[in-house]
Amino acid sequence: MAEPGRSRGGALRGVRFVRAAGQVARGWASRRAWAILLAATVSATEGEAQADVQPPEPPSRGLLYASVGNDAGSDTLAPPLPREFRAVWVATVSNIDWPSRPGLSTAAQQRELITILDRAAALRLNAVIFQVRPAGDALYSSRLEPWSYFLTGSQGRGPQPSYDPLAFAITEAHQRGLELHAWFNPYRAKHPDDTSRTASPLHISRTHPQLVHKYGAYLWMDPGEPEVQRKTVDVVLDVVRRYDVDGVHIDDYFYPYPERARRGGLIPFPDERSWRAYKAKEGTLSRNDWRRRNVDLLVEQLYTEIKAAKPWVKFGVSPFGIWRPGYPASVRGFDAYESLYADSKKWLNEGWLDYWTPQLYWRTTASAQRYADLLTWWRGQNLKGRHVWPGNYTSRASARRRSTWPVEEVVEQIQETRAQLSPSSGNVHFSMDAFLVNRDSLNERLAGGLYREPALVPPSPWLASGVPDGPVVVRVPRPRVVELDVTRLGAPLVDAPPPGARPSAATPPGRLPPDKTSAPANATVVRSIRDPHWWLVRARYADGWHARIVPATQRTIRLPLDASDAPPTVIYISAVDHAGQESPSAVVR
């Protein structure tokens, strides 16, 4: 929270670069600078960042994360921030988390989304996995698929007044130091809770009805059809190219979970057409192996093409938590390998992803699905050294309906994850509703305990080696506040204006490219993985070290004086790039 303070005349005079060990890399002379109140905004078309005049942010110390001794001159080397992936799924299918019901006004939808993001930030989470494609539809502006029924109550009808929920979510998440991952269902074409009488003309069930089959109460795209695979990849790449997402995420819905007929028998998945086409080309696999190969191809292609478009966008997969019964030996349960045709172990073995989130939705004491046993087994399959961040069924401990787990179960699962995975631990909570309900003070238990300190997302060094350049920081003289102008190395600095001069109006943004959904060949990568994604600001006040994670599109950073009108004794500012690697710090004293 901002602390109003009155200047006592103190000033932070010097700025220098240091390495993590505290060695001086090179000096930077103190200089006066003109106040720059510009924030870069990146359009959903992924054009170059454009400057736009913004009101000054309220000064904030950030969150207390480390204590200091009684001597104000000691403890001047900033402690590192913990690294841990703390994420939550925000499900839009069936309006599980957002929006609360179809057809809300734009203002109401945005208020609900802000509430979700504020709650995530207050819990010290650092990522939101936001469902944007529940069933061949879109919760964003798309020319490939129709607007979702779960957004407006009518498939194909956009929100009014018009806005783009994904672009809005990304902007608001980043302002709160949260990553935003776009979550897609690759094959589901209609959920029974979508009560639209007629599908939109843009929906795949209308444009390519031969690719979609009725299965139980659902419509399902046939994974054996090459056009379905290409469709899903194109939809994902469209979002990757046009939006500043931090990740792409798919969950456990591949071939559908088996449905039963009224008499109890299993309903076979109706893929006879694609199976016969495969056999006609002299395919040699069995039908089950062919189905698994279809899903393998999609996962591998998604990873490859996401990396070709934007190497820094992480790809995460969240499969059913058990690969096969008997792996490990103590585990019994559903066989996703045979029933969903998901050879999830292979995907992790091959490294076709950046993070792995098996849905470990059982209690730590479950006799046939022990959380610790499953997590240990999955760790052993991580041959390429990717992130393993298990999914937790947090809604079992806090939900609007009857909750069956004690809150302590969630705490114990996070503790077990840390014991096995630190220093790059992580958990993904299903779902946001658990934190909105907050049964038995779940939020207070986390924010006041395991999540007391803020954390950075662990780095992904296979995406880029080395560290980024440190930022350039200039102190802007201001009364009753510490104001810093922070830029990447090589960006233009602003000299002090002549006496009495007034700031000129900001240059109007250039004309942005039209918001067109293009074929994959029209890709243009406009940023580098080494560009700063966040500024990490650590400031030493009398009561301890405080930290803030600020989007690197924000150039002006303001910190308040403390209750005795004293500025922080030292400030460290580092850049965190899109691979999560942290630069040497600029130090302001």
What's the pLDDT score for residue 432? 98
Question: Which 8-state DSSP code applies to residue 295?
Answer: H
Residue type, 567: P
Residue whose C-alpha is closest to residue 113's, from 135, 140, 137, 134: 140
**pTM, two decimal places:** 0.86
What's the pLDDT score for residue 49? 37
Lowest mean per-residue pLDDT among 38-47, 155-164, 254-263, 488-497: 38-47
CB 405 within 8 A of CB 396: yes
pLDDT in tens, 401-452: 778 999 999 999 999 999 999 999 999 999 999 999 999 999 999 999 999 9
What's the pLDDT score for residue 490? 66
**What per-residue string of b and e applies to 199-213 under the rule 16 or more CB within 10 Å gives b?**
bbebbbbebeeebbb
Q: What is the CA radius of gyration of the chain?
A: 25
Q: What value does the mean pLDDT take over residues 541-563?
A: 96
Task: Identify the band that residue 466 occupies on the pLDDT scale cut at 50, 70 and 90.
Answer: confident
* Sheet of 482-487, strand order: 472-476, 482-487, 556-559
pLDDT in tens, 255-271: 999 999 988 899 999 99
Q: What value does the mean pLDDT take over residues 37-59?
A: 45
Q: Is the peptide bond before 423 cis (omega within 30 degrees of 0)?
A: yes
Task: Identify the band that residue 76 occupies on the pLDDT scale cut at 50, 70 and 90.
Answer: confident
Tell me if residue 440 falls in helix, strand or coil: helix
Residue type, 575: A
CB 141 within 8 A of CB 164: yes
Structural domains of the chain in order of their starting residue, each with its CATH number? 15-82+473-496+505-588 (no CATH), 84-450 (3.20.20.80)
